[in-house]
Chains A and B, each alone.
Chain A
């Protein structure tokens, strides 16, 4: 071993989140499991990130998330290549880059893990967008497998009793669908256990995010983007619960020792929308150079937004509300209320919005949110025009200039 490797900078070592290693191990094991599922007689179900995954866990099938795959493709900077392949297939460049890169990856087994394991069935929850409907129709035609659409009526201002009844009936239809595609009975006792673990995982995830209320924040939004993977992919399992117990402990310890996510936290910011996956490090360092930490975000918080509605004693029944009234399936003014709460809770000095060309439900309405926050709370906002996976929509010098100007305002305001 060289001398250089032996002498690690103790300050830098202290800053590192130790759980990262464990997370990578879990995700690697998960993808190996998923990719060898057919050899082990297990079914693979593709599901949207906001979809009702717990019943799939009950059936002992392996849920796989094309959106998580999209994020990995983006983070590995393989998005442009795959998006261009999709464009060659006839998909317009303006379409969602998760969808484009996943559709292309199916065809060429591309991306950082050589493509996802082929699905035995598809579950599409449209509570996050209408795009997933089209995306899953495409995959249903391509893989020639059954598709279940979990249709959660949009709640502009209310969750109507008519919608409630419709979603409730779909839960029964969903279980029947799973019984058919998996070829076995649905186990209600197991559902109770999985429901309990799902709730426990979501509560732990919320607690992890809550540690950012500390100053300095031991965890940033950029850290959360990474640690989010399990609450999405393994929600309802003991693995996720154990991991978040460990992560929470580490974050509490960091908070006690006043170890921040960035070295000298002076300004605290809130992030909105999906990450810019291929630029998370750049963004994190850019803001850190101003001693600014993105302490929280609306995106990773969305995976605990259902805690108000879910009931451990009637998980299936409470899924109706829990899966319908999620963050993106509500009106702009409802989203604004949640943002305002977060601004107070995390005591932030500014709001950074990613206007994401790939995601209209998340992005349309941001201008109105920005104006209201400015007017009602005097909170400075910054809008970054980009895309979550397609790097061609990133113009660095322009974004850098805007961040510089924004941080000047924040500095002047706070001193």
Chain B
């Protein structure tokens, strides 16, 4: 479909897109790496928030700063910056999540000459009143930092408007996910990922408009006939490999939902459009489904995955874990056990920027999907 083509074009040449966006509006662009970045505040400042995803190139510069046991996302984004391929950025924002991103922030600050650098040191535990208060305090502090260092001001009205824009994007993505879960044949997993990823890169008003129209059109699509494929849920950090969705589908599976940072963890839970916008944002970032680098309860992520598996009648779960991502690797055994407890089989696949051959991947997916009843 046309929309998917447009989103794909943005992804394929995100640097070119960013440069054109800058020339057109004369605005500024800030890069970020994870869904704990308060992009609504950046957007309300008239700055374009742009998510960065590793590199497609071989690592040539980052190895002088990061050991080989760092994940390919951290090494990849540093490589992009050191190689000068992110020259369109005015800076980067680092929300506190894992140990690797935390040190990446230091290394980035010491080696890359952007005008703006912010550490948004969010709380790690999210289940107490004092953490909730600190969350709101940190968001307000981030606002002040943007205002002071960028020489601008962020009104509550502008922030509310941005919140609405992002809510529109999230609502549309959730609708697309729901329609797919009801009727997996109407859109491929790779296309869904193109929409999610594109929405993190392109102009947000444009993304909101296009995704809403797309979701509405998809809703009026006729149901495809009975689908014999096995219903698969994907869980992990991020999966920046559309080919994985293709291979799962070719192996007789249909991805019906996910528990990914580039997926449901991004769009689930809207920000309230009423009251103080910073309190509303703090509520959302505190209540959202956690990344494993955050704590809300000792079984929060397992409970959530079980809920997803039940709600979407999953036949099986595929854990896609980024190699050297410690928080996810620590959660895997108990989450698998909880799935075992409700009789949902799962498989684990470790991924990096460079994937194994398609043949190897297919063999593993086929073997897994074959055994699902």
Contacts and interface: CB of A to CB of B under 8 A. Distances in A.
Q: How many A residues touch the partner, as a band? A: 35 or more
A360 B134 CA distance: 26
A171 to B, nearest CB: 10
A274 to B, nearest CB: 14
Contacts of A357: 67, 69
Given A94-B324, A332-B106, A333-B106, A135 B330 contact: yes
B103 A94 contact: no
B131 A365 contact: no
B119 interface: yes
B128 A89 contact: no
B137 A134 contact: no
Nearest to A128: B99
A169 B128 CA distance: 11
Contacts of B164: none
Interface stretch (B7-15, B34-42, B293-301, B361-369): B293-301
B69 to A, nearest CB: 5
Nearest to B74: A364
B295 A92 contact: no
B308 interface: no
Contact of B67 (A96, A99, A355): A355
A154 B323 contact: no
A151 B131 contact: yes
B interface secondary structure, majority: helix
A385 B66 CA distance: 13
A172 B227 CA distance: 57
Interface string A326-338: 0000011100000
Interface string B130-166: 1101100110010000000000000000000000000
B99 A129 contact: yes
A170 interface: yes
B334 A141 contact: yes
A134 B331 contact: yes
A126 B103 contact: no
A129 B330 CA distance: 14
B130 A169 contact: yes
B201 to A, nearest CB: 26
B107 A156 contact: no
Contacts of A94: 69, 323-324, 326, 329
B356 interface: no
Nearest to B94: A156
B329 A95 contact: yes
Contacts of A92: 321, 329, 332, 350
A162 B330 contact: no
B336 interface: yes
A368 B107 contact: yes
Nearest to A131: B326
Contact of A126 (B97, B124, B292, B299): B124
Interface of A: 89-92, 94-96, 99, 126, 129-131, 133-135, 137-138, 140-141, 147, 149, 151, 153-154, 156-157, 160, 162-163, 165-166, 169-170, 173, 331-333, 355, 357, 360-361, 363-368, 385
Which 9 interchain pairs have the tightest Cβ spacing? A90-B333, A134-B330, A364-B103, A166-B134, A162-B137, A332-B106, A169-B130, A92-B329, A360-B99
